[in-house]
Chain A
Amino acid sequence: MNFVDRMLKIDRRIIYLILALVITLPLLFRSPQRIRVMHPVATLFNAVDSISPNKALIVNFEFDPRDLPELEPMGLAILRHAFHKRIKVLVMSLYVQPLGLAQNALTAVINEINTEAKTNVDSLIYGRDYVFLGWQPPPLVPILGMGESIANVYKTDFYGNKTDTLPLMRYIKNYKNVGLLVSLSSSDVPKWWLEFAQNRFGLRVGAGVTSVSASEFYQYLQTGQFSGLMVGMKGAAEYEEMIESNLGIHKRRKASEALPSITYAHLAMIAFIIIGNVGYFIKRRQK
């Protein structure tokens, strides 16, 4: 086998090994990277930031464990931003799988803030500052039903409390009292919010999506239907950058910490693609 053939037939185990090394080694040495914030994330940040005090933010967790590394940092960053600004938050899912992850993210941020709180006013109190609505099947029911009455769709919250008895829900009745909904999803769910909730009730919608599904969402950002968009790990890192530089929130930046791994993995993939193409062109010329 000559050199060109070797270029064209690199053993897949070598590819796997190199990729494993470039992904895992940077993770061992945590070094969050700074990143320039692009307009889709800046727009989303401003949309969350401008929610009026009498309105709530709905965070729709719609991802399962496979998308956790990309979408969870987005959820954490959004929640930190909202709670820092004292925006009231409702958390919900349309499917059952994301509930555990939603609860995990919510609990993490709440504990983080409450351990630093000195007074009752500084603390985040369930029912007063946030509510975990849980899920109600099938997905179309909450999307459309919450436009009329949130408490009617979610008669009890995730913990079994009667929703209409919670202080927050006395004035957050339907989409009229919601400033923005951010859907964190690896599927088409953000589009459903546009198709049904925005078209019919005028709900403002933002989205956080995975890199592989991102290309189909940009068109809704361009039309102004999405009030901002976060894409993949980079989008999450940009949001972390925004909350740190604008609000001074210095917390662990999971997405920014993962950027070196992604950088080296992308460079390795580009190198393999270039090697493959160089080999291909030399072989073609030889023929």
Chain B
Amino acid sequence: MKRTLPLILVLICGVLGIIPFLIPHPIVQTTDGFFRDIVLRIIGAFALVLGLGSLLRVHYDKIKRRQNNWEYSWVLIITFIVVSIIGLFGGTQGTGPLPTRIGTFAFDIQSLYLNIEVPLGSTMFALLAFLMASAAYRAFRARSTEASLLLVAAFFVMIGILPLGDRISHQLPSFAQWIMDVPNVAGQRGIQFGVVLGMLTTALKIILGIERSWLGGGE
């Protein structure tokens, strides 16, 4: 029963997810609307609680067992609690019952987001440019015909998309665009067909209960 019930639920939900795309009858559409607007949201809310609970548990265990870099888990837990309190009681715009301003210093969710998360996130991603440059220098070698083709295509696209490319030759941006529009699309479409067929097969296997690894190991 422990395994059968989830399998039946997946079969029902999977079929219910497909049918509304094929049958426009009002009964089917209304049922679909109910599942989407009510059931899906409830599941989403549970998933959110489960996700947050799991995150806190993982970091609590890390602190308890003094695992590597356990100190940072404190940062996560404290930040989680502080931001949750500000968000729940201060409101996103600082209009809640909890005061989120001391003089000119505001710490409502939007201020925290714009002044902490935005610079931190941007900084982290900006570092990628340096790593990419270093990696491209070390790894981008014309070792074979395929690698050479890739190198030449990358060269034309990199130059062609810049204003400089247009100054060198008016044909260069058009050629760079052609590389993206034709050879790139041909390759991408081939990959996409493979991916979609794979997804369809996997989805059908899960809906029909052939693929059961998602149930987890053991009985």
Residues of A at under 8 Å CB distance from B?
Answer: 10, 12, 15-16, 19-20, 23, 33-36, 38-40, 64-69, 99-101, 103-104, 137-138, 140-141, 144-145, 148, 152-153, 158-159, 199-200, 214-216, 218-219, 222, 232, 234, 259, 262-263, 265-270, 272-273, 275-277, 280-281
Whether B110 lies near A38 (C-beta < 8 A) is: no
Chain B residues, CB < 8 A from A35: 163, 166
How would residues 111 to 139 of chain B score, 1 for a CB under 8 Å from any chain A CB and 0 otherwise?
00110011111101100011011101110
Q: Does B219 have its Cβ within 8 Å of any Cβ on chain A?
A: no
Q: Which of B151-190 contact A (CB under 8 A)?
A: 151, 155, 158-159, 161-164, 166, 170, 173-174, 177, 180-181, 184-185, 188-189
Give which listed residue, B110, B122, B130, contacts A15 with CB less than 8 A: B130
Contact with A along B89-124 (1 / 0, CB 8 A): 000110000000000000001100110011111101
Q: Are B40 and A138 in contact (CB under 8 A)?
A: yes
Nearest A residue (CB) for B180? A218
Contact status A270-B36, CB under 8 Å: no
Contact A265 B129 (CB under 8 A): yes
Known: A16-B134, A137-B48, A222-B185. A259 touches B163 (CB 8 A): yes
Bound Cα distance from A14 to B200, whole angstroms:
48
Chain B interface residue count, CB cutoff 8 Å, equals: 57
Q: Are A140's CB and B37's CB within 8 A? A: no
14 A-B Cβ contacts within 8 A? A15-B137, A65-B121, A66-B124, A141-B37, A141-B40, A152-B37, A215-B188, A216-B192, A232-B161, A234-B162, A266-B159, A273-B140, A276-B140, A277-B140
Q: Is B198 an interface residue (CB 8 A)?
A: no
Cβ 8 A contact of B41, one of A36, A141, A219, A273: A141
Residues A19 and B130 in contact, CB atoms below 8 Å apart: yes
Known contacts: A19-B130, A218-B180, A222-B185. The answer to whether A277 contacts B142 by CB under 8 A is: yes
A273/B137 in contact, CB under 8 A: yes
Query: Which residues from A are CB-within-8-Å of B194?
Result: none
Interface pair B136/A39, CB less than 8 Å apart: no
**A266 & B40 in contact (Cβ 8 Å cutoff):** no
| CA–CA, A266 and B157, complex, Å | 10
* C-alpha gap A207/B170 in the complex (Å): 26
Q: Complex Cα distance A184/B133, Å? A: 26
- In the complex, A273→B137 CA distance in Å? 5
* Nearest CB of A to B161, in Å: 5
- Whether the Cβ atoms of B142 and A15 lie closer than 8 Å is no
B110 to nearest A CB, angstroms? 6
Contact of B162 among A16, A65, A138, A259 (CB under 8 A): A259
User: Once bound together, how far apart are the Cα atoms of A267 and B189, in whole Å?
Assistant: 30
Given A138-B41, A219-B185, A222-B181, A263:B134 Cβ within 8 A:
no
Most buried by B among A36, A67, A281: A36
User: With a CB–CB cut-off of 8 A, which chain B residues contact A138?
Assistant: 40-41, 43-44, 47
A145 adjacent to B141 (CB under 8 Å):
no
Q: Say yes or no: A69-B163 contact (C-beta < 8 A), given A138-B40, A219-B189, A273-B137.
A: no
| Cβ–Cβ contact B137 & A275, under 8 A | yes
Q: In the complex the two chains form, is B177's CB within 8 Å of A39's CB?
A: yes
A26 to chain B, nearest CB (A): 12
In the bound complex, residues from chain A placing their C-beta under 8 Å from that of B214 are none
- Chain B residues positioned under 8 Å from A68 (CB to CB): 118, 121-122
B109 — nearest CB in chain A belongs to which residue?
Answer: A100
Alpha-carbon gap, A112 to B151, bound state (A):
44
Considering the complex of A and B, which 8 residue pairs feature the smallest CB-CB distances, nearest first?
A65-B121, A66-B125, A100-B113, A272-B137, A138-B44, A65-B118, A33-B163, A66-B121
Q: Any chain A CB within 8 A of the CB of B33?
A: yes
